[in-house]
Amino acid sequence: MNEFALEIKDLKKVYNDGFVALKGINLKVKNGDFFALLGANGAGKSTTLGIVSSLVNITSGEVSVFGKNLNKHRDEVKRKIGVVPQEFNFSTFEKVHDIIMQQAGYYGLPKAVAAANTEKYLKKLELWDKRDKQARFLSGGMKRRLMIARALVHEPELLILDEPTAGVDIEIRRTMWELLSELNEQGKTIILTTHYLEEAENLCKNIAIIKQGEIIVDTSMRELLSRLDKSTFVFDLEQNVKELDLLDNMTLTQGNQLEVEIKKGHSLNEVMQFFLTHNIQVQSVRPKTNRLEELFVSLSQTKGEKK
Amino acid sequence: MNQINWIAFLTIVKKEIRRYTRIWMQTLLPPAITMVLYFIIFGNLIGSRIGEMGGFDYMAFIVPGLIMMAIITNSYGNVAASFYSTKFQRNIEELLVAPVSNQIILSGYVIGGASRGMAVGVIVTILSMFFTKLQIHNIFVILAVSMLTAIVFSMAGFINAMLANSFDDISIIPTFVLTPLTYLGGVFYSISMLPPFWQVVSQFNPVLYMVNAFRYGILGVSDVNIWFSFAMLGMFAVILYTVCLYLLNKGTGIKQ
């Protein structure tokens, strides 16, 4: 079995209008990995995934999936990939069951296999009861799940999800996280882009950050999070502290709300001592953002380093 | 064609057939109503005053042309609308990510479109029997010409859909090119009635060959040589197939 599910070498993409979307990126995703590809809007995430899934033409460079070169073995590579795009791209007038069966047909699955897989994944995604409904009558969350079922129907080894939980409520999002984790545990390699950094932090083992068509970070999630040199906490207080002389790491955001930056290796004791000294009652405390979000913002603002 | 490609091809064809039968009020019914109006107005009311044309009463003369007109507009319209909608809604991506070759995509859509053309042709033929006694001179010519014509115009519709950037773009060609060519292609008259100059000009109209070859299959008369008509149809089929595949391979309008 090949060590890497995806290998990208010096991949460049220049669109017809001259926009350089990818400036020669290199990326390796291990077989069985749960990999996050993050970046701001327009950074090149969707272009990269679009090239891997044959939706965007390559300008130059090489893409291999499980050791097979995309340009030389396109059909074989396509059979190994399942794609969940960012935007709904099914015919809204078709019935749920027909959409999945058709996709199975495009992959050449015999009717009996297609029907069995369609039932399996519609049940798994809790859409079996909706199988005879036209897709336009589904809720946003159901439409997202429909796209996942469609991507899985031919049982791909590599699943590519471009913002799969965008616009989905938290309950469905958590159900989808469980499903994706289960698929990953079963051996499927998953590549995910998302704007919910909590999602990437919770699910993914490895991560790459792309900025203006270049990979600026390519490492493990654990290693990246260890780079975080400070955390910001928000304290909600009982009383107004406007008149007080605050510590250097404190910023008053409202009369009774403080943001406190704690450097790596430092504890919250000094801050708690300050509140005790001034007899200030703390109602609640929470991290301002999740850790990955804080890192992502700082990396996006500075010129990144290459691994 | 291997089994995988065959399944993919059938999937596209079935999807296309399901699409136009689901919306039969927009796809199958209107041409039937339009053709009945043609039969009543041009065939019965006006035709009875015209008398004979090409040795047949006017109604019998125009029936082959009207059947062919229905086949042409419906084959073209089906693929143009369906493939453009697929592009517009981006569900073309379902096909692009799957291991479906461009030949299979093209064949699936073209056969799907041609099947609508043929279905409407059959409906119009049945309706015409209420207005005239339909004869069959050569069934093989009838089937070959109608199928080839449906395929040729399905491919033309496919090209239109690939190049279109808006829904307006898929109505421009039918309105400004297809309809005039069809009306001037000898549906309602024999080109022998035209002055010599316009007879020559008419020979550059591809629809003329299709209408006349089909009329030959039904009535046994034609303004042009039947084999030359088949050669023209074959040539158009090859040219359009080549253009369609070129656009698909290039990813025109469907890949960035």
* Contact yes or no for B8 and A56 at CB 8 A: no
Question: What mean pLDDT comes out for the span A113-133?
Answer: 95
* Contact yes or no for B94 and A102 at CB 8 A: yes
| pLDDT at site A307 | 38
* Contacting residues of A for B256, CB less than 8 Å apart: 15-16, 50, 55-57
* Number of CB pairs, chain A paired with chain B, less than 8 A apart: 80
What is the C-alpha separation between B237 and B212, in angstroms, rounded?
17
What is the C-alpha separation between B144 and B114, in angstroms, rounded?
12
Q: Does B105 reach chain A within 8 Å, measured CB to CB?
A: no
The residue type of B99 is: P
Q: Which residue of A has its CA nearest to B87?
A: A89
CA distance B90 to chain A (A): 5
What is the C-alpha separation between B203 and A145, in angstroms, rounded?
56
* Contact yes or no for B97 and A98 at CB 8 A: no
| pLDDT at site A232 | 83
Question: What mean pLDDT comes out for the span A41-58?
Answer: 92
| pLDDT at site A306 | 41
User: A8-17, A242-251, B13-22: which range is least confident on average?
Assistant: A242-251
Q: In chain A, what are the domain boundaries?
A: 4-226, 230-291
Question: Which of A106, A143, A150, A159 is the best mutation test for B, with the most CBs of B within 10 A?
Answer: A106
Q: Is the dihedral of CA B190, B192, B193, B195 positive or negative?
A: positive
| pLDDT at site A199 | 83
Q: Does A91 reach chain B within 8 Å, measured CB to CB?
A: yes
Say yes or no to pLDDT of A209 above 50: yes
**Contact between B76 and B156 (Cβ < 8 Å):** yes
* Contact yes or no for A92 and B89 at CB 8 A: yes
Q: Does A271 reach chain B within 8 Å, measured CB to CB?
A: no
> Mind listing the pLDDT tens digit of every residue in chain B (256 residues)?
688 899 999 999 999 999 999 999 999 999 999 999 998 998 888 888 888 887 888 999 999 999 999 999 999 999 999 999 999 989 999 999 999 999 999 999 999 999 999 999 999 999 999 998 888 999 999 999 999 999 999 999 999 999 999 999 998 988 899 989 988 888 888 888 888 888 888 888 989 999 999 999 999 999 889 999 999 999 999 999 999 999 999 998 888 8
* Contacting residues of B for A53, CB less than 8 Å apart: 97
Q: Does A93 reach chain B within 8 Å, measured CB to CB?
A: yes
Say yes or no to pLDDT of A241 above 90: no
| pLDDT at site A293 | 72
Share of chain A above pLDDT 90, in %: 55
Q: Which residue of B has its CA nearest to A57?
A: B256
- B window 19-58, beta carbon within 8 A of A: 19, 22
**Contact between B210 and B67 (Cβ < 8 Å):** no
Q: Is the dihedral of CA A198, A203, A205, A209 positive or negative?
A: negative
* Contacting residues of B for A76, CB less than 8 Å apart: 99
| pLDDT at site A301 | 67
Place of tokens 């703390």: A282
* Contact yes or no for B8 and A74 at CB 8 A: no
Phi-psi region of A155 (alpha: psi -120 to 50; beta: other; left: phi over 0): left
**CB neighbourhood size of A251 (10 A):** 12
> Distance between alpha carbon A92 and the CA centroid of its chain, in Å?
25
- With 0.90 as the threshold, say if the pTM is over it: no
* Contact yes or no for B97 and A78 at CB 8 A: yes
Q: Does A54 reach chain B within 8 Å, measured CB to CB?
A: yes
* Contact yes or no for A16 and B89 at CB 8 A: no
ipTM beyond cut 0.85: yes
Say yes or no to pLDDT of A215 above 80: yes
What is the C-alpha separation between A224 and A69, in angstroms, rounded?
30
* Contacting residues of A for B165, CB less than 8 Å apart: none
* Contact yes or no for B10 and A105 at CB 8 A: yes
- Give the pairing of strands A206-211 and A34-38: parallel
Question: How many helices (DSSP H) and strands (DSSP E) are in chain A?
Answer: 10, 14
> Distance between alpha carbon A225 and the CA centroid of its chain, in Å?
16
- Label residue A113 by pLDDT band (50, 70, 90): very high
* Contact yes or no for B7 and A109 at CB 8 A: yes
| pLDDT at site B18 | 95
CA distance B255 to chain A (A): 6
Q: Just give the CATH number of A230-291.
A: 3.30.70
**CB neighbourhood size of A21 (10 A):** 25
Compute the radius of gyration of chain A from its Cα atoms.
Answer: 23
Q: Does B97 reach chain A within 8 Å, measured CB to CB?
A: yes
Q: Does B195 reach chain A within 8 Å, measured CB to CB?
A: no
**CB neighbourhood size of B136 (10 A):** 11
Q: Mean pLDDT: which of A54-58, A204-208, B113-117 is highest? A: B113-117
Place of tokens 């689901």: B22
* Contact yes or no for B8 and A55 at CB 8 A: no
Please give the residue that has the higher pLDDT: either B244 or A293: B244
| pLDDT at site A42 | 86
Q: Does A106 reach chain B within 8 Å, measured CB to CB?
A: yes
Q: List Cβ neighbours of A192 (8 Å cut-off, separation of 6 or more).
A: A34, A35, A36, A37, A161, A164, A180, A199, A200, A203, A204
| pLDDT at site A169 | 80
Considering the four listed CATH numbers 3.30.1340.30, 3.30.300.30, 3.40.50.300, 3.40.50.11540, the one that applies to the domain covering A4-226 is 3.40.50.300
Q: Does B249 reach chain A within 8 Å, measured CB to CB?
A: no
- pLDDT, one tens digit per residue, over A84-108 is 998 899 999 999 999 999 999 999 9
* Contacting residues of B for A98, CB less than 8 Å apart: 15, 18
* Contact yes or no for B97 and A83 at CB 8 A: yes
What is the C-alpha separation between B70 and B50, in angstroms, rounded?
23
- Label residue A23 by pLDDT band (50, 70, 90): very high
CA distance A74 to chain B (A): 7
Alpha carbons within 13 A on the beta-carbon side of A67? 4
Nearest residue, CB atoms, A53 vs list B4, B19, B97: B97
Q: If DSSP codes are grouped into helix, strand and coil, which group holds residue B160?
A: helix
* Contact yes or no for B89 and A50 at CB 8 A: no
* Contacting residues of A for B85, CB less than 8 Å apart: 91
**Contact between B254 and B162 (Cβ < 8 Å):** yes
- Label residue A305 by pLDDT band (50, 70, 90): very low
Work out the angle between the directed axes of helices B226-250 and B102-128 (0-180°, nearest 10): 140
| pLDDT at site B239 | 97
What is the C-alpha separation between A58 and A193, in angstroms, rounded?
20
Q: Does B98 reach chain A within 8 Å, measured CB to CB?
A: yes
Strand ranges (DSSP E) for A175-256?
189-193, 206-211, 214-220, 230-237, 250-254
3-class secondary structure for A92-154? Answer: CCCEHHHHHHHHHHHCCCCHHHHHHHHHHHHHHCCCHHHCCCEHHHCCHHHHHHHHHHHHHCC
| pLDDT at site B253 | 86
- pLDDT, one tens digit per residue, over A62-89 is 999 999 999 999 999 999 999 999 889 9
| pLDDT at site B75 | 97
What is the C-alpha separation between A207 and A193, in angstroms, rounded?
10
- pLDDT, one tens digit per residue, over A124-183 is 998 999 999 999 999 888 999 999 999 999 999 999 999 888 777 888 888 888 999 999
